[in-house]
Amino acid sequence: MAVELPDGPIGVVGAGTMGAGIAQVAAVGGLDVKLFDVAEGAAVAARGRITSYLQRSVARGLLTDAQAGAAVSRIETAGSIEEFDNCFLVIEAVAERLDVKQGLFTKLADICSPDTVFATNTSSLPVTAIAAGVPQQERVVGMHFFNPVPLMRLVEVIAGMNSSEQALAIAREVGSRMDRQSIDASDGPGFLVNRVSRPFLLEAQQLLSEGLADAETIDRVVRLGGGFRMGPFELSDLVGVDVGYDIAKSFYALGHGEPRWRPSGIPAQMIAAGRLGRKSARGYYEYAENGSYRADDPGPQMVESASGAVDVIGETQLAHELRRLAEAAGYAVSAPAGVPREITIDARLVTAGRDIDLSRGPVAVLCAGNSLAAAARGRNIAGFHCLPPLGEARAVEITRGSGTTEETLTITRHFFHAIGKHVIEVGDGPGLVLGRIVCQLINEASFALQEGVGSAEDIDKGVQLGLNYPRGLMAWRDAIGSAQIVSTLDALQREIGGDRYRAASALRRAVLEGR
C-alpha cells in the first residue's frame, strides 16, 4: 500500500558507483536528490557520469530527451552534509565500515529533522549495529541496492531491531518511486539475497578442491546446465577474489562458525599470488587486453540419429521430461520385454545396494541419492545428472566409475546428444556439479525461510531480480522435489562428513509429510 512521502528531496551520501546509481534511479523516478561526497569534485563528476548514462539511454530509445533532461535537473550536488537539513530520507553509500556509517548518521542526526529516515546501503553490516548510538534509532533502516543499480530492479528493505514501521514504509515507497521492487528482509548476515546465494561460490570452490572438475568446467556446467548467466568463478573474478574472500570471512564470523559458511582456502592462495580477478588480469581465468578470457559457449547441440528402445525408470518430473525428449528424438520408450534396449536411464534416487538390472544392456543412473561409486559398486554403469526443467537446460553431466567401460560411456553420451543436450564429463559425487550447487542454494534458502529472514516469494523475487538467477530457488525446489534435494544432501553428508550438508528441517519435514 502506497504511503504519502514527506515534502523535500532525498539525500545520497557517497558518489561512487553505488551512490551515483541510487541518485540516478531516484531522479529518473521523479524524486529530487541531493548528492554529496567527501572527496572534492566527486559528486560533480558523478552527476556528469549520470548525464552520459541517461544520454545513452535516450540513444537506445529507453528515455526521451525531455525525461533525461528532467532527471539530471533533479540532481543537486551538495558542498556539505549540512545542506541535507531539508531531506526526508538520507541514503548512505559510503565505506563498508561500521564506525564510518555510525559516525555519519550521528552527525546527520544533529542536522536533519527528527523525522528524517536514515537508510544504509550496507550489504554485510547489521543494521541494528549501525543504528546503535544514533538518536531516534527507530528511523534507521536498510535499503540494500544491487550493482549495477540502474539495471538491477530490486531493493531489500531491512528492519533493524528498533526500526519503525513508518520508516520502513517510507523506504519501500521510495523504492517503488525508483521503479525497484522491494522485498523485506530481517537483520542478519547478508540479509536475504546475499545470504541465500552464499553456496554459489563456496560450493564451487569445494568442488574444485575435491578435484571433481576445474574452474572452467564448473562454470560451463552452471551456465549450460543451469541457465545461469555467469559461472561462480567468472563472477568471483568480476567482483574481485580478495573482495569475495573478505565477504566470506565476514559471513563466517557473523555466523559464529556456521559450517555451511566456512570459507575455502583457495582464494587465500590466489590472493597471495596476486591473482585477484579481472582487475589484476589474472584470477581463476587469464584475461587478454581486450577482456576475453574463455571460448564462447557452443550453440544448440545437433540432434544425433536415434533409433531402437530405451527405458527411463522413475516417476519424477525429470523422468517424465526425459521420456518426452526421448520419444521426440525417435526412441521407443519403455518397449515390451524382449526388445533390445540401447540404454536404460535410471532416473530414480538409486540407493546404495539397490538391485540394478544390467541384463537389458547399458545403464546410466542419476547421481542424486548417491555417488556413482556407491550406486554401482564397481559394476559397468555410467552416471549422469541434470535438473528440471530439462527442456531449458543445454547440457547434462556424465561421470564414470571404476567399472564403467568406454562403450557404456559412449552410449550414454549418444543418448543425451540424441535428445539435444551437450554432454560435460565431470568427476563422481552426489549431485555431480550442478546438483550439488543448486541443492545447497535451496538448502540455504530453506534455512532462511524457516528462520523468518524472508518469505518464499521474496526469496524467488530476490534471486531473480537481484542476481539474475534463471528461476527462483523455491520454484526450483518444487520442480526438483524435496525428496531428491534431501537425498543429495544426506549423501554428501555421508560421503564427505561434517555438518556442512545437514538439511534444513523445513526440507526434511516436507519429505516426511510427503510434500
| Residues forming the active site | 123, 144, 156, 194
Q: Is 393 exposed, middle or buried (0-12, 13-18, 19+ CB in 10 A)?
A: buried
Residue located via cell numbers 536404460: 344
DSSP per residue over 91-147, as a string? EE---S-HHHHHHHHHHHHTTS-TT-EEEE--SSS-HHHHHTTSSSGGGEEEEEE-S
List Cα–Cα distances, 136 to 8, 139, 161, 222, in angstroms: 20, 6, 13, 46
List Cα–Cα distances, 368 to 203, 391, 499, in angstroms: 16, 19, 19
Specify the length of the chain in residues. 515
How many alpha carbons lie under 13 Å from residue 8 in its C-beta half-sphere?
16
* C-alpha to C-alpha distance for 401 and 298, rounded to whole angstroms: 27
Q: Distance between terminal CA atoms of the chain?
A: 33
* C-alpha to C-alpha distance for 135 and 120, rounded to whole angstroms: 15
Residues contacting residue 29 through CB under 8 Å, at least 6 positions apart: 177, 178, 179
- The answer to whether the beta carbons of residues 134 and 109 sit under 8 Å apart is yes
